[in-house]
């Protein structure tokens, strides 16, 4: 049961960018289209799951004093692997995400989960935690990207979804649109939670 809990908490209760408000740099920067957000989310998920697994396995070997250094080495290695793989098999996306792939190293979610969860829990819960958080992050980024792409460009995953006379609101695919969109989503989520709390 607890494994399921660890997994599902990443999907709503502690969904990374909206609830923990962590990892905002890629959240704001790469969500200009749904596809970009999804690719970024999947890359981050891969790193998160792998680093959670490895750190959980090594948690009794790593001395407390150098744990952060050890975590960063583990995380950075996986990030470079993602970068190389992406360069090799998905070059156009590699060009779009550019600098933000190496920047996954400093994504607070990954180090945060390593420090707060994987370093204290056995393999299975850590795996569930990483997977849940990663999928939550991917969904958030895809959703944010989809909203911005629809309003700002009239398309979703590159396909036209709005009527042809729709005048794209191009500020939404630029930097201010990311803040506007994120703010509105955070507000709505808080509103929904307040309603739930009142009822409960």
Question: Is 77 a residue that touches another protein (CB under 8 A)?
Answer: yes
- Residue pair 128/7 in contact (Cβ under 8 Å)? The answer is yes
- Tell me if 92 contacts another protein by CB under 8 A: yes
Q: Does 106 bind another protein (CB under 8 A)?
A: no
Residue closer to another protein (CB basis): 20 or 110: 110
- Interface residue with another protein among 21, 57, 73, 116 (CB under 8 A) is 73
Distance of CA 141 to the CA centre of its chain: 6
60 is a site residue for another protein (CB under 8 A): no
- Please pick, from the candidates 4, 21, 57, 69, the single residue that binds another protein as defined by CB under 8 A: 69
Task: Supply the minimum distance, in Å, between the C-beta of residue 185 and another protein.
Answer: 31
Considering the rule CB under 8 A, would residue 76 count as an interface residue with another protein? yes
Q: Which long-range contacts (CB under 8 A, 24 or more apart) does 29-32 make?
A: 29/100, 29/178, 30/96, 30/97, 30/100, 30/141, 30/145, 31/141, 31/144, 31/145, 31/148, 31/178, 31/181, 32/145, 32/148, 32/149, 32/152, 32/173
Query: Do 79 and 102 form a contact (C-beta atoms < 8 A)?
Result: yes
C-alpha span between 177 and 133 (Å, rounded): 25
Is position 195 an interface residue for another protein (rule: CB under 8 A)?
A: no
Contact segment (CB under 8 A) with another protein among 13-21, 27-35, 77-85, 96-104 equals 77-85
Q: Which residues form the interface with another protein (CB under 8 A)? A: 58, 61-63, 65-66, 69-70, 73-74, 76-77, 80-81, 84-85, 87-89, 91-92, 95
């Amino acid at each position: 049961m607890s494994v399921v809990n660890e997994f599902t908490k990443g999907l709503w209760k502690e969904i990374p960018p909206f609830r923990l408000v962590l990892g905002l740099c890629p959240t704001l920067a790469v969500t200009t289209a749904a596809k970009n957000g999804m690719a970024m989310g999947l890359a981050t998920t891969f790193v998160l799951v792998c680093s959670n697994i490895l750190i959980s396995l090594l948690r009794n070997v790593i001395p407390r004093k150098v744990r952060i250094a050890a975590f960063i080495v583990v995380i950075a290695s996986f990030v470079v692997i993602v970068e190389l793989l992406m360069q090799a098999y998905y070059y156009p996306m590699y060009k779009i995400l550019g600098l933000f792939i190496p920047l996954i190293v400093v994504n607070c979610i990954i180090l945060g989960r390593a420090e707060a969860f994987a370093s204290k829990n056995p393999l299975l819960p850590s795996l569930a935690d990483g997977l849940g958080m990663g999928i939550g992050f991917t969904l958030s980024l895809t959703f944010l990207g989809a909203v911005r792409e629809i309003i700002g460009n009239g398309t979703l995953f590159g396909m036209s979804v709005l009527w042809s006379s729709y005048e794209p609101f191009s500020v939404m695919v630029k930097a201010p649109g990311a803040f506007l969109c994120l703010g509105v989503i955070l507000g709505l989520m808080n509103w929904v939670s307040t309603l739930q709390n009142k009822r409960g």
